A and B are shown apart, each in its own frame.
Chain A
Amino acid sequence: MNTVVADITYRAMLGRKRIWLLILLPVALVALAALLRLINGQDEQTAVTLMKSFAIGTMLPLLGLIAGTGVIAPEIEDGTIIHLLAKPISRPVIAVTKFVVAASLIAVLAAVSTYAAAYLLIGSESGVAAGFTLGAVLGGVAYAAVFLLLGVLTRHAVAVGVIYALVWEGVVGGYVPGARKFSIQQWAQSLADQISSSPFFSTEVTLGFAVPAMVVVTVVAVVWTGRRLRSLSIAGDD
């Protein structure tokens, strides 16, 4: 963890257009919750649907995609990463710093908006708000690590990330039960289910699998990013 690198990365993330996309999604989640509250009143089933399909299913992967690749991919694209890599800072430290910046941004944005939206819809009833907030924070951290790794592995990090989030987690996970075991969204939902006691919400992946899987994926992705940075090729394509 290097505070100077972290500071520069925070400024790069918060000072550009990227921040609007990062803020727009959480704001939309809260606005949707308010609108649904107006249309439908307090309804636990609506709250669980909104949390599952929008907060965890749409907002979280998109935040992960934008922040996770955003902390490193533009620097590689512009070639300015050379200046960072030429400094006497160990590459794993750079990877960890970038990861901490991305993870903290996603965790804060996801946690605040998820809790606010769930609280707007049903208050703190049957632990839905607290459960999904926990799921969103930890899921967001795992997404940050995975998309950070994609950002250093390929120039098409965003496109590959979209394929993972949309095709693997969305389409394949919808038809093939086995694919759900390897989905960050499902792990986040398992965590949420642990706290919430809502009868409208059940998950398929056990907590005994989800938590170790999440930890392993996060750690492996960050370590691999560090190793990959040691021999990064900067030659441009198209």
Chain B
Amino acid sequence: MTTEPTAVIHDIGYRHYDGVRLGRGRAALALGVQSLRGVFGLGRTIRAKIMPLLLVAIMLMPTVVSVGVMALANQFVMPYPNYAVFMQAVIAIFLAAQSPYLVAPDLRFRVLPLYLSRPLTVTDYVLAKLAALAVALFGLLAVPLTIEYVGELLVDLPGPPHTAEYLGALGGSVLYAVLLASLGIALASLTPRRGLGVAVVIAFYMFTAAVSGIFAGVLISSGRDDLSGWALLLNPFFLVDYAQSALFGTTPVNTESAPPGVASCLILLAVVALAVTGVLLRYRKAAS
């Protein structure tokens, strides 16, 4: 028999927390992991899982096809560094569909003060969200590339494997992930409405893609080929493609008249810095 505590009329069972307090870093990590799971719909309703898993499946399709072609026809069809540019519409839709999920509900239901009442700071919150989206995008790109590379090694094509290209493409995936995540969060955090956030992000992608295509086409047809590469830099995917080729020595999709590699790297850095600063400023205001 356990001894009942004396002089207690009614114990409603409230307990103090006596465990270790893990602090700021672990809070940020928990938020990041939770957000990363949420991007792929894990821990959310079935309806929230459909869209990300569908897009992941679409991303894997070219890989499956190219491994099949390698196995059956002994031909190497899809160069690794061009994979992201080839699939840019799908990646843009993934970014547009999922980045508002990360920021919009917290803004809409005004729960930011609840997060900030913990050891977490505004900067931690923003960085955790950015990191979650960047890791998700990196996975979206790296998993198909890795499957294709493993397939290539297993099929054992004549000639050496394209290891340098594969590693370059992985490095490029990091660049894609960082640039797209900062752009996606910056645009999506402008509005607390999820639907409008999706529209803003996709409008940004469609606008820059169309404008860069039109200007590149017009400049080429009017004989100013040297400028056409600069026009292509407006499209975030071609921007990273050029930066990737400058940093990792891969072949860009548009080889003619590429702008100097240093320029594309600097523009990439400037865009990321601008976007991240924008988000931080936005949240300083939203949190107060």
Contact = CB atoms under 8 A, between A and B. Distances in A.
Interface string B213-235: 11101110110000000000000
Contacts of B194: 77
A54 B93 contact: no
A226 interface: no
Interface of B: 44-45, 47-48, 51, 89-90, 92-93, 96-97, 101, 105, 190-191, 193-196, 198-200, 202-203, 206-207, 210-211, 213-215, 217-219, 221-222
Interface string A49-75: 110011001100110011001100110
Given A40-B222, A74-B196, 17 more contacts: A21-B200, A28-B207, A32-B211, A36-B215, A49-B217, A53-B213, A62-B207, A69-B195, A73-B195, A74-B193, A158-B198, A159-B96, A166-B92, A166-B93, A237-B45, A238-B47, A238-B48
A103 to B, nearest CB: 18
Given A54-B214, A166-B202, A159 B48 contact: no
A164 to B, nearest CB: 11
A216 interface: no
B89 A170 contact: yes
Contact of B93 (A39, A45, A163): A163
A158 B98 CA distance: 12
Interface string A26-40: 001000100010011
Contacts of A155: 47
Contacts of A39: 218-219, 222
Enumerate the 7 nearest inter-chain pairs by beta-carbon distance, A residue then B residue, closest first.
Answer: A58-B210, A158-B198, A159-B97, A158-B195, A162-B202, A238-B48, A58-B206
Interface string A1-39: 000000000000000011001000100100010001001
A105 to B, nearest CB: 14
Nearest to B90: A167
Contact of A156 (B97, B202, B215): B97
13 contacts: A21-B203, A32-B214, A46-B221, A49-B217, A62-B207, A69-B199, A70-B195, A74-B196, A155-B47, A162-B93, A162-B96, A162-B198, A238-B48
B47 A74 contact: no
The majority secondary structure among interface residues of chain A is helix
Given A21-B203, A166-B93, A166-B202, A53 B214 contact: yes
Nearest to A171: B89
Contacts, number: 101
B206 A238 contact: no
Contact of B206 (A17, A62, A70): A62
A40 B215 CA distance: 10
A167 B93 contact: yes
Interface string A129-172: 00000000000000000000000000111110011001100110
A46 B89 contact: no
Contacts of B97: 156, 159, 162
Interface string A165-188: 011001100000000000000000
Interface of A: 17-18, 21, 25, 28, 32, 36, 39-40, 45-46, 49-50, 53-54, 57-58, 61-62, 65-66, 69-70, 73-74, 77, 155-159, 162-163, 166-167, 170-171, 237-238
Given A62-B203, A69-B195, A74-B195, A159 B93 contact: yes
A157 B193 CA distance: 13
A171 B43 CA distance: 32
Contact of A40 (B92, B210, B218): B218
Nearest to B217: A49
Given A58-B207, A162-B93, A237-B47, A45 B221 contact: yes
Nearest to B50: A156
Contacts of B198: 158-159, 162
Contacts of B218: 36, 39-40, 46, 49
A158 B199 CA distance: 7
A157 B194 CA distance: 11
A7 B221 CA distance: 48
A128 to B, nearest CB: 15
| Central interface residue in A58, A74, A171, by most chain B CB within 10 Å | A58
